[in-house]
Amino acid sequence: MNRLVSISTEQDILPEYRNTPIGLLLEYHNLNRQFAEYDSAELLIGMCMDNRKQLRIPAKFAFVIRAGGANLRYSEFQVSYAVAVGKVKHIALIGHNNCGMVNLIERKEIFIQGLVETAGWEREFAEQHFTHFAPMFEIGNETDFILNETKRLRIRYPKIKVAPFKYLVEDNKLYLISED
Ligand SMILES: [Zn+2]
């Protein structure tokens, strides 16, 4: 947990993110900043599909891509769209603790059984489905994954500022992940 920077005052926001849409995200969500009005998006947020996560942000402030584990590797066209057409210059990548995309193999049987019982799949197809996709969607460690994704996106979109965050489901706050 010592890699997480808690943000409870404006001064906690790293200077490089202050007065940017990334700093604003922290102010809106963590510091209850009063909502401004927006005509267009200022930020792209990548975050997990997990139902325990909800951001406090103003209308029209951000594009949001939600994917398991905040894994944007398979959403690249949407990222490009937000950058190219939406003209956002900042990306906030938000992982979270207790993420279902960590250690998927541990839930293999639940996954397969769930598809059979809830969705009506044949067991064999459900097994193939898991075996095929689990390696693509497994993220390993949440914090390390977000840091690696941040690096990858910075290389892919060199003029875009990308910031790594972790959301803790216990307090619903955003934490900057220290890159030192
Ligand atoms: Zn998750």
Q: What is the pLDDT of residues 6-42, one digit of tens each?
A: 999 999 999 999 999 999 999 999 999 999 999 999 9
Distance 6 CA to ligand 1 centre (A): 20
Q: How confident is the model at residue 86 (pLDDT cuts 50, 70, 90)?
A: very high
Distance 111 CA to ligand 1 centre (A): 15
Give the model's pLDDT for residue 2: 65
pLDDT at residue 178 is higher than 80:
yes
Q: Percentage helix, strand, coil, to 5, in the chain?
A: 40, 20, 40
pLDDT at residue 147 is higher than 60:
yes
Q: How confident is the model at residue 153 (pLDDT cuts 50, 70, 90)?
A: very high
Tokens found for residue 99: 């993420």
Distance 39 CA to ligand 1 centre (A): 30
Distance 102 CA to ligand 1 centre (A): 8
pLDDT at residue 148 is higher than 60:
yes
Give the model's pLDDT for residue 180: 80
Distance 8 CA to ligand 1 centre (A): 24
State whether the Cα torsion 23-44-134-107 is positive or negative.
positive
Give the model's pLDDT for residue 171: 97
Cα-based distances in Å from 35 to 38, 56, 165? 9, 9, 21
Give the model's pLDDT for residue 120: 98
What pLDDT digit, counting tens, does each position of 103-117 carry? 999 999 999 999 999
Give the model's pLDDT for residue 98: 96
Distance 139 CA to ligand 1 centre (A): 9
How many alpha carbons fall within 13 Å on the CB side of residue 128?
Answer: 5
State whether the Cα torsion 98-100-104-109 is positive or negative.
positive
Region 61-67: what's the mean pLDDT? Answer: 98
